[in-house]
Amino acid sequence: MSDSKDIQNIHKRYSFTLINPSSFYVSLTASIAIASIISFLSFNNYIQNYEILYHLPAVVAALLATQYFDSRFTRHKEYSKSLHMSFFGNALWLITIVSGIIGSAILSKELSLFYVAVGMFIFSSFRIGIMTTTLGISLKKSCLLCFVQPLAMFFVVIPIDMWSVLYNVESLVFGIVFLVVAVVWSYLTNRSGLPVIKSTHKLLQAYLQSVTHNDPRDMESIILETSKATNISTSQIRFSTNDDKNDFRMLLPDLHPGPFHPVGGSDIPYQIYKTMNSSVMVLHSISDHSLNLPSQQDVQNYLQELSKSHVSTKGMTCTEPVTAQINKARVVGIRLDKTALLFLSLSPHGMEDVPIILKTDIEQIAKNRNFQRILIADTHNAMGGEISQEDSQDLITAAKNVLEILITKTNHPLQYGYANSQSMDIQTSDLAGGGIGMLCLAFDQKKYFLCWADANNMENGVREKIVTHLKNNGCELVEMFTSDTHSTTMGVRNRNGYYELGSITKSERLASWCLSIARQAEKNIASGKFEILENSARVRIMGSGIFEHLSRALDSSLKMTQGFMILCTGIFLLSIFLWF
């Protein structure tokens, strides 16, 4: 499986993390309601002439006490996780009891406490799975703790003279079978990532710790086990006025933001933005997640290396932007003396990361046309899947056309203006700390704008709406692009795992912000010069292997889980058949 397919596969599995309720209050309320229903059904259908009003408060008290007790054994004493476990476990118990009642009614058989007892064992088995996978409790300790809440509630609900149902042969046999299945499942899924991923459960716990506690240490330590050191190049275009003031940069690192907040280089664009005094557009290079920085220490090492950049070219002229559109593919380019800067896009159709092979092909085309260097940015401005062969070829052809036109374009004295949203105090979940930046390039009576957003991609069509709004107000926005930051993943509960620009903020509001920033950039226009800076830093990257192994471990665990769920369903149906 290719790296991009591994990433897509991992993204698909992210939706499983959205199952728990968004608030622990939901789990608390639901678990109390379910416990009350279990009590009512038990008294109404299995136990006659017993004081439910006396025992119902006792059941709720036992539930609340054991929920708190369970939380003391979690790594961070997390009450919310204990509540979620209690909610789902009690729901399974309720389903078992209701199934027994329905089965009795259909077959006209006498009701029995057998299904209350079996449900208690199923509840206990479920707790083994949750404790070992998400709560970080050892398998041995889980086998003891799994009975605490189910037994406490059972002993309160069921009169003492009926407790013998727990050690009836039928109850014990099915109960032990469910417990053994849970233990075997836990053991096997924990080893599904071997030999590279030593513990799948620890990986899951590290992930949960990073996203719920903003603590990436465990996740980073796991990733670092397979990371490797390599040389990462970074190119910068530094614009400045003739007095060396009004410094603004467009920076293209051969890194990829990620893997997810707050791990590693998830917010590398914003970290660069702060390092460059909030006067930079951090472009998305032609790269993939194998070029993620694995830890925050590596981020700091990379930022320190940026200060060692050296000037390779200087100049004072620039061409007007050139745009070529072929089918879905659009390429925008400008030339700074013998350096070309290209922006690749399929917006509004969108695509995943541009494959590196396209960069290689376009670089060769530029070399054949005597360009000294070419900088290629992936605009990342619309949502889409893996790029097709047809679209790839169209992008290459469009890039070739742009480069050929740029060769013939007239050089103009560089006049530029830059502004950003820093003073606007914009706070929205689909925009990261770098906000929005706008570069205005002025040529005689014409002005062209390039817009950057510190965001993880854009909703399809949002770019076009912003372009139209600016055009209607006399501003020609030739391209809008994002940093592909992964810092907008914190606390997100959707299938993508992040908020793309436009998913929270309305396009009309974004367009208004962009127009305001464009007006300010226009006011800041001044004559200037440019420098091309180059840097090579020795840093660790995640590499492609980790994603392949993660994908395989997830697939293996899910296949095992599906198999064990089918097995448990079969055992439960067998218990109904044999009992009746």
Strands 412-413, 317-318: parallel, antiparallel or unpaired by DSSP?
A: antiparallel
Contact assessment for residue 398 and residue 330, using Cβ atoms and an 8 Å cutoff: yes
Contact assessment for residue 159 and residue 217, using Cβ atoms and an 8 Å cutoff: no
pLDDT digits (tens, 9 = 90+) for 529-542: 999 999 999 999 99
pLDDT at 12: 58
Q: Looking at the predicted structure, is the pLDDT value of residue 305 above 60? A: yes
Computed over every residue of the chain, the mean pLDDT equals 91
Q: Which segments within 75-126 are labelled E, that is strand? A: none
Number of C-beta neighbours around residue 315 at 10 A: 15
pLDDT digits (tens, 9 = 90+) for 94-111: 999 998 888 888 877 777
Of 235, 338, 319, 341, give the one whose Cα is nearest residue 282: 235
pLDDT digits (tens, 9 = 90+) for 56-105: 889 999 999 999 999 999 888 889 999 999 999 999 999 999 988 888 88
pLDDT at 491: 64
Strands 339-345, 329-336: parallel, antiparallel or unpaired by DSSP?
A: antiparallel
pLDDT digits (tens, 9 = 90+) for 388-414: 999 999 999 999 999 999 999 999 999
At residue 572 the predicted structure's pLDDT band, cuts being 50, 70 and 90, is confident
Count of alpha carbons within 13 angstroms of residue 148, beta-carbon side: 23
pLDDT digits (tens, 9 = 90+) for 151-161: 999 999 888 88
At residue 1 the predicted structure's pLDDT band, cuts being 50, 70 and 90, is very low
pLDDT digits (tens, 9 = 90+) for 21-40: 777 899 999 999 999 999 88
Contact assessment for residue 269 and residue 304, using Cβ atoms and an 8 Å cutoff: no
d(CA 525, CA 235): 24
Count of alpha carbons within 13 angstroms of residue 177, beta-carbon side: 17
Q: What is the b/e burial string over 200-226, where b = at least 16 CB atoms within 10 angstroms of the residue's CB?
A: bbbbbbbbbbbbeeeebebbbebbbeb
d(CA 451, CA 442): 15
Residues 6+ apart with CB under 8 A from 269: 257, 282, 432, 434, 454, 483, 484, 485
Q: Looking at the predicted structure, is the pLDDT value of residue 191 above 90? A: yes
Report whether the peptide linkage leading into residue 257 is cis, meaning its omega lies within 30 degrees of zero.
Answer: no
